[in-house]
Amino acid sequence: MSTPQTQSIPPHVPAHLVVDFDLFEVTPELRDPFDKWQALLDTGAPPIFWTPRNGGHWTFLKYDDIREAYRNHETFSNRHQSIPRTEPWPLLQPNGVDPPEHSKFRNLLVPLFTPAAVSLMQAEVRRRTRMLIDAFADRGECDFVADFSGKLPTGMFIHLMGMDEGRLSEFIALADFFMRVEDPVAKARNVGEIYGVLGEFFRHKEHHLGNDIASLLLRARDTAGSGVTQQEVIDCTFLLFVAGLDTVTSTMNFIWRHLAAVPATRREIAGYLEQPDKLSRTLEELFRVYAVSNIYRRVKKDTVYKGIQMKADDMVVLPDNLANRDPAVFDRPAELDLTRKVNPHLTFGLGVHRCLGSHLAKLEVATALQEWLPRIADFRIDTAIPVKIYAGPVMGFRALPLRWDARA
Amino acid sequence: MKVVANLALCQGHARCAAVCPQVFGTDAQFGKVVVLLDPVPAELQEQARLAVHNCPEGALRVSKDSRSFP
């Protein structure tokens, strides 16, 4: 059953650091994708280990090592992050390049996603959130993924990019496939399809510039001395397309699953939705516990890290969820503590590639809570419907059937 | 007490501004930390220290108090 692509152990990897761990595997008994990571700790996996699965890669389990990989871009590069290796692979600006090259696009985009800039998106996020909830609030049931969490971030992305709203479902399907597919050939084809859609979009946008991110990138391309090329503009859009949609969707799925299961928590949060300090602390704790991303890095040059020899082009996986549950950093790490005071979680990464959209992600989740809980205060999971979960670079589940008593 | 920001380390998480908005803000263009109160008044010192400890980058420190440097 579980014989995905393996390869022999490279000679520089010592046998005592080898663990048979498949990043993507979902066994029938697995109920929660986080459990497969916790199992690594429970079975005493070395804090830095090599698995031969999926082309072979390292995995870091400790907060300090994951933090170091994020910070030390001289050793742990963002170039060509694919597991298993996929060819050809797009050079995703700015996430897929290292400093100093990375600042060209990063500096273009950062001003669009600062707290000040994101606060101006509040009304639009709220409008979209209400519209989505309006569609099912009186029905007494929804599939949270299909009806809400899958649509809010993607809809905002399309709005910010200046894309055609009519193609929302097509874009969701393409981005979803990108995150879920393991077969390198199918992945390469999917990448080609996304590029096709983006190429067509930019051919149109070229003649219809507006107040959106795509137009900003095109204007940068046409600015003398910017060094921004047409290909880079498309690559950058590709990145925004796949980076900011799935992760927010999945995080909301975990949060709403939690709220559906724990009435006391949803009532508590409902009591301070308009108190920014309490709501912010709660959000950070939810983001800590439900860190859905397993981030990839590539070893840039032969190196010895913590006495372990690593070779150029070795891949490294950084599970944010384990960093965030490291008892060396977090008090009672397994516990969701909505009043947690010290919480330097790594859910948005850190260093030069810190998640560009983190403030928008927080705004979307905060607004969703503010709009949802007063209208649908009590809700439950319909356990009669089996839910398929997935692992990999972003973890989650494909559906979340919710039920509540609709107002007569 | 004063807080010192290392802008080379700050990546604009804005965790400090969320924890203690009276002392920390963010600049409009790049979203990096701006220390608003220097020195930090007594009644805000505890909250400012918490903000320092919540910075995942370790970009903030409290001066004249080495215990607070993460």
Q: What is the pLDDT of residues A246-256, one digit of tens each?
A: 899 999 999 99
pLDDT band per the 50, 70, 90 thresholds, residue A300: very high
Mean pLDDT of A231-244: 85
Mean pLDDT of A158-169: 88
- B17/A115 Cβ within 8 A: yes
Pair A365, A286: CB distance under 8 Å: yes
> A237 exposed, middle or buried (CB, 10 Å; 0-12, 13-18, 19+)?
buried
The CATH number of whichever domain residue A122 belongs to comes to 1.10.630.10
Structural domain including B49 reads 2-65
Give this prediction's pTM.
0.93
- A110/B30 Cβ within 8 A: yes
Q: Assess A344–B contact: CB distance below 8 Å, yes or no.
A: yes
Residue A304: strand pairing partners: A309
pLDDT of residue A53 exceeding 60? yes
Residue B48 lies in a domain: yes
- A115/B26 Cβ within 8 A: yes
User: Which residues from chain B sit within 8 angstroms of residue A328, using beta carbons?
Assistant: none
Residues sharing a CB contact under 8 Å with residue A45, sequence separation 6 or more, in sequence order: A19, A21, A61
Residue A7 lies in a domain: no
- Split into its structural domains, chain B has a count of 1
Q: Assess A359–B contact: CB distance below 8 Å, yes or no.
A: yes
Cα separation, A245 vs A251, in Å, equals 10
User: Which residues from chain B sit within 8 angstroms of residue A73, using beta carbons?
Assistant: none
Amino acid at A182: E
User: Which residues from chain B sit within 8 angstroms of residue A351, using beta carbons?
Assistant: 11, 57
- A352/B11 Cβ within 8 A: yes
Residue from B13, B20, B53 whose CB has the most chain A CBs within 10 Å, to mutate: B13
What residue spans of A17-74 are helical by DSSP H? 33-42, 63-71
B→A contacts (Cβ < 8 Å), by residue, are 11-15, 17-19, 26-31, 50, 53-57, 70
pLDDT of residue B63 exceeding 70? yes
Measured in degrees and rounded to the nearest 5, phi and psi for residue A96 equal: -90, 10
Tokens 């040059």 -> residue: A301
Pair B68, B54: CB distance under 8 Å: no
pLDDT of residue A177 exceeding 90? no
Residue B43 lies in a domain: yes
What residue spans of A135-183 are helical by DSSP H? 144, 152-161, 168-180
- pLDDT at position B68, please? 46
Judged by average pLDDT, the poorest of A143-147, A171-175, A217-221 is: A171-175
pLDDT of residue A137 exceeding 90? yes
Instruction: Read off the pLDDT of residues A94-126 as tens digits, 9 standing for 90 and up.
Output: 888 888 888 888 889 999 999 999 999 999 999
Tokens 């497969």 -> residue: A36
DSSP A333: T
CB nearest to B55's CB, from A115, A344, A348: A344
- Split into its structural domains, chain A has a count of 1
pLDDT, mean over chain B: 92
The minimum CA-CA distance between B10 and chain A, rounded to whole Å, is: 8
Residue A8 lies in a domain: no
Residue A111 lies in a domain: yes
- pLDDT at position A1, please? 38
Question: What percent of chain A is modeled with pLDDT above 90?
Answer: 75
CB nearest to B31's CB, from A115, A276, A348: A115
- pLDDT at position A2, please? 41
Question: What percent of chain B is modeled with pLDDT above 70?
Answer: 91
What residue spans of A262-316 are helical by DSSP H? 263-270, 276-289
DSSP A10: P
What residue spans of A135-262 are helical by DSSP H? 144, 152-161, 168-180, 184-205, 213-221, 230-243, 246-261
Q: Where are the beta strands (DSSP E) in A61-184?
A: 76-77, 141-143
Cα separation, A43 vs A24, in Å, equals 19
pLDDT band per the 50, 70, 90 thresholds, residue B19: very high
Residue B49 lies in a domain: yes
Beta B33-35 vs A401-403: how paired, if at all?
Answer: unpaired
Residue A297: strand pairing partners: A316
Residues sharing a CB contact under 8 Å with residue A128, sequence separation 6 or more, in sequence order: A152, A155, A156, A159
Amino acid at A30: L
Tokens 């870091």 -> residue: A60
Beta A57-60 vs A315-319: how paired, if at all?
Answer: parallel
Amino acid at A122: Q
pLDDT, mean over chain A: 92
Cα separation, B33 vs A48, in Å, equals 34
Residue B25 lies in a domain: yes
Residue B41 lies in a domain: yes
Pair A171, A158: CB distance under 8 Å: yes
Residue B70 lies in a domain: no
Structural domain including A262 reads 15-403
A224 in helix, strand or coil? Answer: coil
Cα separation, A256 vs A261, in Å, equals 8
User: Which residues from chain A sit within 8 angstroms of residue B56, using beta carbons?
Assistant: 67, 344-346, 350
Q: Where are the beta strands (DSSP E) in A71-125?
A: 76-77
User: Which residues from chain A sit within 8 angstroms of residue B29, using beta carbons?
Assistant: 111, 114
ipTM computed for the complex = 0.91
Mean pLDDT of A395-406: 94
pLDDT band per the 50, 70, 90 thresholds, residue B65: low
The CATH number of whichever domain residue B24 belongs to comes to 3.30.70.20
